[in-house]
Structure 1
Amino acid sequence: MARTLLYLVRHGEQDSDETGSDPGLSELGRRQARRLGQRLRAVPFHAVHHGPAARAAQTAEEIAAFLPGVPVHECRFAADVTPVPAPGRADQAVPQRYADFVDAVPEQERDPGAVRAQAAVNHWGRVGDVDRHELVVTHNFVIGWAVRHALDAPYWRWLGLNQFNCGLTIVQWRSDAPPTLVSFNDIGHLPPGERGQPPVELLT
């Protein structure tokens, strides 16, 4: 039975000193991406897909240097979006502790009813006649939504599923089974000094 293995990567650390609305990678972000490229160089990817943001495109470029012959292209499904409840949908309400965050999402980033996020999952999760390995460089909330989908979790549960920069999440689809979460936020390729700011508070 054929399967699709989707390798989801959050872009590398962005350059906080860069001006403008679309910052590229910091030097640390580039090192993070190269570390991941080294780790993935033996995977037989069909393609590398990335969102339109500069930090996603540059992350894909650094990784692709270790994947000779694998096509790289911009993918609209990998754009940065934030799922928010659709108006009037009580079944999509978020817990009160997240309400202020959701209310503050800028208009251009809002994805009411997660229409765009779910379209991305449906697009990437197709299963054909042969095994496929697809690499997608995207953003934190898009990956969180894909994980929520794989686990068949409540609508709001993408909240709190946070990835390190260049963390690796893998989801598998098969035609004879529901999607499977293979790994989540794997940072084994990043030395402690190159992990950047943790996406959640870690206990040490």
Structure 2
Amino acid sequence: MAARTLVYLVRHGEQSSDETGPDPGLSELGRRQAHRLGQRLRAVPFDAVHHGPAARAAQTAQEIAAHLPGVAVHECRLAADVTPVPAAGRADQAVPQRYADFLDAVPAPERDPGAVRLRAAVDHWGQVGDADRYELVVTHNFVIGWFVRHALDAPFWRWLGLNQFNCGLTILQWRADAPPNLVSFNDIGHLPPGERGRTPTELLS
């Protein structure tokens, strides 16, 4: 069988509402969510744990990595919180009008015109080598939505509405002889009902 690359995508745990400043870390519930996920993933032979620069992503990665002894953890800007928006003049990237106001309001530092950064992230983690590889990426809701949209070969805008619970688990598989495969999406079997937080339909980022 051809070698596989499996990418485990995790939305960060619930962020704190008590911290002030632009980059809050995890709430107590968020830490419990990450701990539960770490327990679930402890048998997976990860090659590395990657996380975006936001405090909530870094803290989630550290909580999970406590259950993965010997696995390297590092920050990667490809896992940063960005929002794919249509590039100017690209008719193939047009979005339904009902989403236009939301995308127009995305702050400049968070905008990813044409999903250039997100396409680079897919290319980076979706590479297939000579041996099986397991990568854990702790990132954000829209980033995971884009990866799923890519795997399903859906329209540019269809990442919208593909929302995850905090510490929900999505798994994608790549092989050289096949298109990407969505193994699981927003799996929260490791989270008791009382620790799941807000429902995904209420989440925007």
Query: Which TM-score band applies after superposition, normalised by the shorter structure?
Result: over 0.9
Cα distance per residue 1:3-31 (max 9 Å; x no partner): 00000000000001110000000000000
Distance of 1:76 and 1:83 partners within structure 2: 15
Distance of 1:103 and 1:75 partners within structure 2: 27
- Counterpart of 2:191, as a letter, is L
Give the 3-state SS of the residue equivalent to 2:138 in structure 1. Answer: strand
Distance of 1:9 and 1:35 partners within structure 2: 12
What does residue range 1-204 of structure 1 map to in structure 2 within 5 Å?
1-200=2-201
Distance of 2:167 and 2:177 partners within structure 1: 31
- Counterpart of 1:64, as a letter, is A
Cα distance per residue 1:88-140 (max 9 Å; x no partner): 11111111111111111011100000000111011000000000010000000
Give the 3-state SS of the residue equivalent to 2:16 in structure 1. Answer: coil
Distance of 2:186 and 2:101 partners within structure 1: 26
Give the 3-state SS of the residue equivalent to 2:200 in structure 1. Answer: coil
Give the 3-state SS of the residue equivalent to 1:200 in structure 2. Answer: helix
TM-score, normalised on structure 1?
0.98
Give the 3-state SS of the residue equivalent to 2:154 in structure 1. Answer: coil
- Counterpart of 2:39, as a letter, is Q
- Counterpart of 2:19, as a letter, is E
TM-score, normalised on structure 2?
0.97
Cα distance per residue 1:64-88 (max 9 Å; x no partner): 0000000000011101100000011
Give the 3-state SS of the residue equivalent to 2:201 in structure 1. Answer: coil
Distance of 2:109 and 2:17 partners within structure 1: 21
The alignment's C-alpha RMSD in Å is 0.6
